[in-house]
Amino acid sequence: MTTTSDIDVLIVGAGPVGISTAMLLHKMGHSVRIIERREGPQRAPAAHVINARTFEVWRQIGVNVDHLRSLAQDPQAAGQVHWVTKLGGTVLGSLPYERQGDEMLALTPTPLRNLAQHILEPVLVDELSSMGIEIEYSTQWLSMVQEDENVVSKVSKNGNDEDIKAKYLLGCDGASSAVRRASGINMEGPDNLQSFAMIHFTADLSSLTRECPGVLYWLCDQGMGGTLISHGGDNEWVYMHPVDANYVVDQSPDDFESLVRSVLIDVPVDIKILKTSSWTMTSQIADRYRDGRVFLVGDAAHRFPPSGGMGLNSGVQDAHNLAWKLHAVIDSQSPDSLLDTYEPERRPIAQRNAQASLENAFKMIEVFEALGKPDQEGLKQAINNQQTHFDMFGLQMGFRYEIEGSTTPIAPLSDDVIRNYLPSIEPGCRLPHGWLVRNEQTISSLDLIDLTEATVIAGPSATANINYLQVGRDFEDPANWWGTVLGLAGDSYITVRPDQHISSRTTS
Ligand SMILES: Cc1cc2nc3c(=O)[nH]c(=O)nc-3n(C[C@H](O)[C@H](O)[C@H](O)COP(=O)(O)OP(=O)(O)OC[C@H]3O[C@@H](n4cnc5c(N)ncnc54)[C@H](O)[C@@H]3O)c2cc1C
């Protein structure tokens, strides 16, 4: 057995959240190790919605976001969701799928894309590797002992135990987090809402989707929950088949192929089953996010229904919130109490995201109830009522932390709050995006924000004797972002935290 000391942070789990956390902490100058029990990156698709805010976080880290986005589905092809009898059968109704168009560039430099998790993760692994950090695969986290200044973890790599001593331990180890269990942290909320068989397959279904290209297809002949998810072009798919809670994945590939064929109209098509698994939908949040030197991040802290695509996205944003606080405390710039702000800031966001995702899942029942009735108007109305499920830009971008200096209460969830994002400079909000020019390059206002320190931005006529970036001096503001989007006077200042959320605003 060996003991390794003097690392700042041990990260357990190399899913999208663990990898993003490792990149953030490494960029901030910290020694990190990241261990993963799998032998390599994720091979099966789960998440596909990567929202604008998550791309913004990766952009700030320095990930090649243009490359990532080039691997995503074409917004035209993935721009709709449909309710069909079977794939290729009657289209009963359709809705736009999220806001992916260029008009969104006024609000974010990186609009939402559909990018399957099994395509995303290997790219993130490569990005991390190019920073000099290799994921330690086939390494399982087993247990820990917390000390005054460190936490010592026992891990097993190919049967060999190792003790790893780190200042902090981050459980990015997903829904069944061993780190969470070892910390005595419980999950709150329903743990079994619906079960599914997940069938990952390839098939050229273009002849069935030509008339109705899209990313999600609800298969109405199949009963509640049967859904086809397009994961790239028309060739890679997941079929989520509703099953009862005792379902065991022990069918033959032929059985799974028959199941897939049962949701397609009868056409000759080759189907190759790649992977099958079962999965249970839950809506749960950890009752605490911190236990001493241990923090939960991502699915370890919250598990949402996928109806909203918020899981991976929320996890990356947890990491963004926590990393700069760890940096400030490890570097002795801030007291340990700064780390206590992680839970009260992030847990309410998880609660809102869980609530919206759960409401989306339940609201879908309306469509299936309307299907059984002769009144076609009722079905149309029921499908129309699903708009909030597929248009969540407000929830994705408008989340705000309850921090000192806020002058207005945070609005409760409503369809309007979920759908519509209004740029705001209320402390706790994300800095609104605007296009600026620095050194003759077009940048986003978000690009001004330092990853490790608060950034003060001042209007063109501010004169205080402090360190700040000034409109007109340090960057040009051709579209008057300062005055029009932020609504600030020329002699005002805003202070923005490293996670790009506003911490204060001041007029002279
Ligand atoms: C059908 C479906 C669709 C979804 N769609 C979306 C979507 O569109 N958008 C979205 O944002 N989210 C979506 N999600 C959710 C998303 O997949 C998860 O939220 C995301 O994977 C969570 O990332 P994570 O890194 O926190 O956890 P994980 O991806 O679960 O990674 C945790 C890692 O920890 C490792 N690990 C666990 N225990 C140990 C241990 N003891 N030692 C070492 N390693 C360990 C695991 O092997 C795993 O690799 C979807 C989920 C499903 C099932």
Atom of ligand 1 minimally distant from the CA of 300: 26
- 471-491: pLDDT as tens digits: 999 999 999 999 999 999 999
Atom of ligand 1 nearest to the CA of 35: 43
Please report which confidence band the pLDDT of residue 3 belongs to, taking 50, 70 and 90 as the band edges: low
Q: Are residues 300 and 169 in the same domain?
A: yes
Query: Ligand 1 centroid vs 175 CA: distance in angstroms?
Result: 7
Residue-wise pLDDT for 35-83, tens only, equals 999 999 988 888 999 999 999 999 999 999 999 999 999 999 999 999 9
Mean pLDDT of the chain: 94
* Residue at which a domain ends, from 307, 334, 354: 354
Q: Residue 48: CB within 6 Å of ligand 1?
A: yes
Number of domains the chain contains:
2
Residue 2 has pLDDT above 70, yes or no: no
CATH classification of the domain holding 453? 3.40.30.120
Report if residue 165 sits inside a domain: yes
Is position 465 within any domain? yes
CA 404 → CA 145, 337, 408, distances in Å?
35, 15, 11
Is 79 within the bounds of a domain?
no
- Domain extent, residue 16, equals 2-72+115-189+284-354
Task: Say if ligand 1 is within 6 A of residue 311 CB.
Answer: yes
Residues 318 and 441 occupy one common structural domain:
no
- For residue 361, give the amino acid letter: A
Is 6 inside any structural domain? yes
Place of tokens 């942070």: 9
Confidence (pLDDT) at 233: 65
Give the per-residue pLDDT at 93: 95
pTM given for the model: 0.96
Closest ligand 1 atom to residue 298 Cα is: 26
Is residue 280 helix, strand or coil? strand
Give the bridge partners for 243, in sequence order: 195
| Residue 497 domain-assigned (yes or no) | yes
pLDDT digits over 82-117, tens only? 999 999 999 999 999 999 999 999 999 999 999 999
Helix (H) or strand (E) holding 22: helix 16-27
Q: How far apart are CA 286 and CA 303, in angstroms?
A: 9
Averaged pLDDT for residues 405-418:
92
SS3 346: helix
Is 42 in the same domain as 178?
yes
